[in-house]
Amino acid sequence: MLIKCPHCGTRPVEEFAFLGDAKPKRPTSNDPATMDQWFDYVYLRDNPKGRFDEYVHHAGGCRSWLVVTRDTATHEVFATVTAREWAQRP
Amino acid sequence: MTSFRLAKGGLIDRATELSFRFDGKGFTGHPGDTLASALISNGVHLMGRSFKYHRPRGVISAGSSEPNALVELREGGRKEANTRATVVELYDGLVARSQNRWPSLDFDIGAINALASSMFVAGFYYKTFMWPKSFWEKIYEPLIRRAAGLGHASREPDPDKYEKSYAHCDLLVIGSGPTGLMAAVAAARGGARVILADEGAALGGSLLNENEEIGGVSGLTWAQGIIAELGSLPNVTLMPRTTVFGWYDGNIFGAVERVNDHVLEPSLYEPRQRYWRIIARRAVLAAGAEERPIAFGGNDVPGVMLASAMRTFANRYGAASGKSIAVFTNNDSGYRTARDMTAHGVRVEVIIDSRADAKADAGGVPVLRGRKIVNVKGGKGVAGVELDDHTHVPCDTLAMSGGWSPIVNLACHQGAKPRWDAAIAGFVPPDVGPAFTAAGSAAGKMLLSECLADGAAKGALDGKLPQVATCRDEAFAITPLWWVRESTGKAFVDYQNDVTPKDMPLAAREGYSDIELVKRYTTAGMATDQGKLGNVNAIAILAEATGKTIEQVSTTTFRPYYTPVSFGAFTGPFTGHHFQPVRKTPLHEWADEEGAVFVESGLWMRSSWFPREGEDWLAAATREVITARERVAICDVSTLGKIDVQGADAGAFLDRLYCNTFSTLAIGKARYGLMLREDGIVFDDGTTSRLAEDHYLMTTTTANAARVMSHMEFCHQALWPDLDVQYISVTEQWAQMAVAGPRSRATLQKIVDGIELDDATFPYLAAKELTVLGGIPARLFRISFSGEHAYELAVPADYGSMAARAIMQAGSEFGIAPYGVEALSIMRVEKGHVAGSELNGTTTAADLGLGKMMSAKKDYIGRMMAQREGLTDENRQCVVGILPVDKSDRLRAGSHLLKRNDPPSMANDQGYVTATAWSPALDRWVGLALLANGRRRHGEIVKIFDGLRNIHMYGEICEPMHYDRENLKLHA
């Protein structure tokens, strides 16, 4: 499997470490009433067959955290953005 | 011994003679031979024994699909088991042994299994060894283990080298027969970067084996012309002896190149094999097709072989498989063998064709149409065949052809199933997209002209088709015959596993009718050949038995590896000391001079203790502790992770990473920090110092240094990208040493430049950048893990050993000694400091007695989840100190704690001892433990149970800090 790092170009999968689903957003409130949101953020993960946005760390390269969109069944990679760009998406 | 070498012909060097040994007996052959062709030319067909019945077996094929002629090749550490004699290139001095026989290949006691063959039907493992249950471990399993298996692996290390390599190309062509050559040349002429890989020793594929005519010359001459052209192009890499064994994501192919398997020993600087990862923009599967056997009585008698194999042995190797040949076929290609063998001057008795309407050109050989073989006479060699009309045909060799199966394997490695093509009676590759296409006979195109044209079309990446030479086509027509129902002798579908045509219907009757289950139940298609020859027949027979079509039954799953790959190739150069890198600290050289015993800690080598004459580890560590507590001692702590954090938001960033606060830390001071995971469990700890307004230096535990760095990067980039902060690991840039003990201040005072280390200028938790030894940059921290008045000094890595030597010299008047991680560990248990065995991925800050560190004034990683009911339950296990009631008892880490009068049980378990140490200061064993509701149980006497050693004793619970509870020594 090959992943195109926005900084380093196309690199082999061994250089990357996978964290998992990039969809959950960390809640911003510490109000006890938001506990359910925190549970979802920490524990609830989708496990789809098909298109999936995933946090990937270019640990053996530029050390950037990326979000790779790939097909979990075919491993086709559709897009790669930096986690920074992902965090700032609308 | 009669020679079966033909008088002329073949691609062998007859002028050179090679000597080799098979089962201890000497033979000769020629360069260009395989082990199988050399044995056949010496009249040897018996090359192995079958797996279950130990039946005598001869060579069936002339290539990589061979199921029978498996040998142990070479000896000692170079021995390779289950090697196919058909692909072993002959070299002078080759040594091979047959397998799965005892005492000899000729007389094998295991053959009595055949007499009990009713026992060894499909699923016999599951039926025969069921009862009595007590027999399993002592009798059945050892029996099966002795009887089963093929060759024996060597017990000596492999002395040869292996390599790993990457390659990139526009087009990878797999297979160098007519199709592959056309594909490669079409792409190469357009300027594409081409790799042409073939498992054979020479390129040319089937053109090396068959009589063909292309462009008015022999197929071989035509191939040599194309190969010469490819070899002259700079954009082409030719890779003979290279098996492409797997197709992976991203159009990456795995391949193994047998660089030096064809010589006695690799030369000094060359590997035996090279493991390739080939990244291909496009790839063409031109692997060709595999001829199938037919299942009829006695189809495994040595001397029965595939028709294509027989003509390959004759055409390519000049080896005649016999002197009196019969051919049994269901398709036109069998006739080629009759014609080729006749041309070589070998007598062909008859062609037995199962088709009543066969029309192929027999070249003058008599043809019996509409007839089948029901049995082959003979045991270790063919004596003749019996037909279904009860006639007998004398012969000493039998060529069989059951049709052709395109070699679809690689195209199916990502899960797609091949498609049945009734016209050729074979499975053809699935459409897996434009990046990987099959061509020629691998794609079901059975005529040479189709192969040449298809190869050219698939290889022409720029759309410019090269001119395709005209050629002579051999007719291909088939009427399937999978097995001969009327067989009177034992017939085999899968040779390697002794699977017969009766096993498939039996499996179906017993409820295993899915092909994947049939494979496991009957073992058809298992083991080293993975059913390359037998699978299609097995599928067809199952279809017949279950009333399904072959398409409906479909195939089992094709997985890498196409043929077996040696462990050496996978391992590459990463063996022994090269298995993983060794990390040495900047103080390693100094510690080594001081006589350190090193211990592996992850990749690090850490100094563990520094024994003096006659000391064991405990005596040395005890002395080191006493030195630190009474005088001064020095320890290498360079392995702790160090992360330099800078930027306007550095303090704010640390506040979010740690549960306590760092933005309020004064410049020039250090503070202990505790980091949680987002689920509220403790992640890591260490001191962080503030060197300037916007500059911090973090330390992490040795074990978590890399993990903390990745965590910081994630938190910053993915969670809070707006923070103005930069950070980098400086673990390897700094040598760091702890200098501990009442005389540590006096020792260090002698090496620091221009600073008084008194409590006014350098108080407890001071952290300053300064210089030592006349200008060497350094960082000094007044922090203590030992509980003594202590410092940690960091200098740039290259100055490490020199600084340590200077400190040893400065402290010599006070009796300084080095100490290792054993002494460090004793002192931390004495002081009740938590470490790895308490920060174990299940404990909260409160469990560790550090609950007060959790700030309520800010958001930080883990804050919300740490408030969960389960993590704040007062009955949770928390850290306590423990002392044996009997002062002479030795505490053991891992022992469980129970209420004083409870018997040991899971239900009664109250916690366990996490760390122990023999305390020289207290003259007894002391420990730390995790105990349910422990903080309220100080003073309670508990039972300590060590189930491994069966030790019961009593202990008193106390606060974790055993030594200097008022911290008088720390602040002295």
Structure tokens at B415: 């899960």
**Contact with chain B for residue A79, Cβ under 8 A:** no
> Tokens for A50?
């098909």
Regarding beta strands B236-239 and B194-197, do their DSSP bridges make them parallel or antiparallel, or are they unpaired? parallel
Contact B717 A38 (CB under 8 A): no
Cβ of A44 under 8 Å from any chain B Cβ?
A: no
What pLDDT, in 10s, does the model give residues B600-646?
Answer: 999 999 999 999 999 999 999 999 999 999 999 999 999 999 999 99
Cβ pair B864:A38 closer than 8 A? yes
Give residue-wise pLDDT tens across range B128-156.
656 666 666 676 666 665 555 578 889 99
Q: Which two tokens stand for residue A6?
A: 């926005």
- Chain A residues whose CB is inside 8 A of the B279 CB are 2
Residue in this structure with the two tokens 């019961």, named with its chain if needed: B952
Query: Pairing between strand B633-636 and B734-740?
Result: antiparallel
pLDDT single digits (tens) B147-181: 555 788 899 999 999 999 999 999 999 999 999 99
Computed over its alpha carbons, how large is the radius of gyration of chain A? 14
State yes or no: pLDDT of B1 exceeds 60.
no
Cβ separation of B710 and A59 shorter than 8 Å? yes
The answer to whether residue A83 neighbours chain B at the CB level (below 8 Å) is yes
Residue range B584-595: average pLDDT?
Answer: 98
Cβ atoms of B587 and B636 closer than 8 Å: yes
Lowest mean pLDDT among A75-79, B149-153, B505-509, B548-552: B149-153
Beta-strand (E) ranges in B730-825? 734-740, 767-772, 776-781, 790-796, 817-818
Nearest alpha carbon to residue B392 among B367, B370, B375, B379: B375
Are B332 and B87 within 8 A, CB to CB? Answer: no
B236-239 vs B877-884, strand pairing mode: unpaired
pLDDT of residue B577: 85
| Min distance B561 CA to chain A CA atoms (Å) | 17
B864/A35 Cβ within 8 A? yes
Omega before B561 cis (within 30°)?
yes
Please tell me which of the candidates B248, B714, B865 has its beta carbon nearest to residue A42.
Answer: B865
Note the pLDDT of residue B100: 75
Q: Tell me what the mean pLDDT of segment B856-882 comes to.
A: 96
pLDDT digits (tens, 9 = 90+) for B262-290: 999 999 999 999 999 999 999 999 999 99
Q: Is the dihedral of CA B952, B953, B956, B962 positive or negative?
A: negative
Tell if the CB–CB gap between B714 and A17 is shorter than 8 Å: no
Tell me whether residue B887 is exposed, middle or buried, using C-beta atoms within 10 angstroms of its C-beta: 0 to 12, 13 to 18, 19 or more: exposed
User: How far, in Å, CA of B616 to CA of B599, rounded?
Assistant: 15
Cis check for the bond before B132: say yes or no (omega within 30 of 0): yes
> What's the mean pLDDT in B818-828?
98
B625, B809 contact by CB (below 8 A): no
Residue B830 φ/ψ, nearest 5 degrees: -60, -40
Q: What's the rounded Cα separation, in Å, for the pair B727 and B657?
A: 13
Nearest CA in chain B to A4: B250
pTM of the predicted model as reported, rounded to 2 decimal places: 0.87
Question: Quick check: A63 and B713 CB within 8 A?
Answer: yes
Please state whether beta strands B726-729 and B324-329 pair in parallel, antiparallel, or not at all (unpaired). unpaired
Which of B864, B868, B869 has the most A C-beta neighbours within 10 Å, making it the best mutation to test the interface with A? Answer: B864
Q: Flag if B718 and A87 touch (Cβ within 8 Å).
A: yes
- Which pLDDT value is given to residue B55? 87
Alpha helices by DSSP H, listed for B357-502, are 448-459
Residues of chain B whose C-beta is under 8 A from some C-beta in A? 248-250, 252, 277, 279, 414, 678-679, 710, 713-714, 717-719, 721, 859, 863-865, 867
Contacts of A57 in chain B (CB under 8 A): 710, 713-714
| DSSP symbol at B748 | H
The 3-state DSSP class for residue B630 equals helix
Cβ contact, residue pair B867, A32, below 8 Å: yes
pLDDT of residue B972: 86
- Cross-chain residue pair B714–A55, CB shorter than 8 Å: yes
B232-260 per-position pLDDT tens digit? 999 999 999 999 999 999 899 999 999 99
pLDDT at position B769: 97
Q: Give the tens place of pLDDT for each residue, B737-779.
A: 999 999 999 999 999 999 999 999 999 999 999 999 999 999 9
Structure tokens that stand for B51 in this block? 């797996």
Coil vs helix vs strand at B485: coil
| Partner residue facing B679 (CB), from A13, A22, A42 | A42
- Please state, in angstroms and as integers, the Cα–Cα distance from residue B315 to each residue in B199, B209, B225, B293, B564, following that order: 19, 6, 20, 20, 27
What is B208-274 written as a DSSP string? GTS--EETTEEHHHHHHHHHHHHHH-TTEEEETTEEEEEEEGGGEEEEEE-SSTTSSS--TTS-SEE
- Is residue B2 predicted with pLDDT exceeding 70? no
Mean pLDDT in residue range B454-477: 94
DSSP line for B117-138: GGGGSTTHHHHHT-SSTTHIII
Average pLDDT, chain B: 95
Ordered DSSP codes for B33-62: -BHHHHHHHTT--EEEE-TTT--EEE---S
Report yes or no: B947 and B904 within 8 Å, Cβ to Cβ: yes
Each residue's pLDDT tens digit, B64-98:
999 999 999 999 999 999 999 999 999 999 999 99
pLDDT band at B104 (very low <50, low <70, confident <90, very high): confident
Residue B106 reports pLDDT greater than 90: no
pLDDT digits (tens, 9 = 90+) for B107-132: 777 777 766 666 666 766 666 656 66
3-state secondary structure of B744: helix
Q: What Å distances lie between residue B581 and A15, B576, B646, CA to CA?
A: 17, 11, 30
- CB of B867 within 8 A of CB of B844? no
Contact B50, B495 (CB under 8 A): yes
| pLDDT tens column, A15-62 | 999 999 999 999 999 999 999 999 999 999 989 999 999 999 999 999
Task: Please report the pLDDT score of residue A89 as a whole number.
Answer: 83
Confidence band of B315 (pLDDT split at 50, 70, 90): very high
pLDDT confidence of residue B120: 66
Range scoring the smallest mean pLDDT among B42-56, B363-377, B470-484, B687-701: B42-56
Quick one: pLDDT at residue B52?
80
**Helix, strand or coil for residue A22?**
coil
**3-class state of residue B733 by DSSP:** helix
Q: Which residues pair with B917 in a beta bridge?
A: B926
Q: In this predicted structure, what is the pLDDT of residue B147?
A: 56
Check if the beta carbon of residue B78 is closer than 8 Å to that of residue B72. no
- Where do we find the tokens 């031979």? B33
Region label for B89, one of left (φ > 0), alpha (ψ between -120 and 50) or beta (otherwise): beta
Percentage of residues in chain B having pLDDT higher than 90: 91
- Kindly state the average pLDDT of the residues B784-809: 97
Query: Cβ separation of A26 and B248 shorter than 8 Å?
Result: no
* Close Cβ partners of B142 (under 8 Å, ≥ 6 residues apart): none
The SS3 of residue A46 is coil
On whether any CB of chain B is under 8 Å from the CB of A59, the answer is yes
β-sheet bridge partners, residue B6? none
For residue B131, what pLDDT is reported? Answer: 63
Q: Across the A/B interface, how many CB contacts are shorter than 8 Å?
A: 58
The secondary element (H helix, E strand) that includes residue B698 is strand B695-700
Indicate if the alpha-carbon torsion angle A52, A57, A58, A63 is positive or negative. Answer: positive
The structure tokens 């999978």 sit at B482
**A82 reaches B (C-beta below 8 A):** yes
* Mean pLDDT in residue range B466-479: 93
* Cβ-defined contact of A65 to B250 (cutoff 8 Å): no
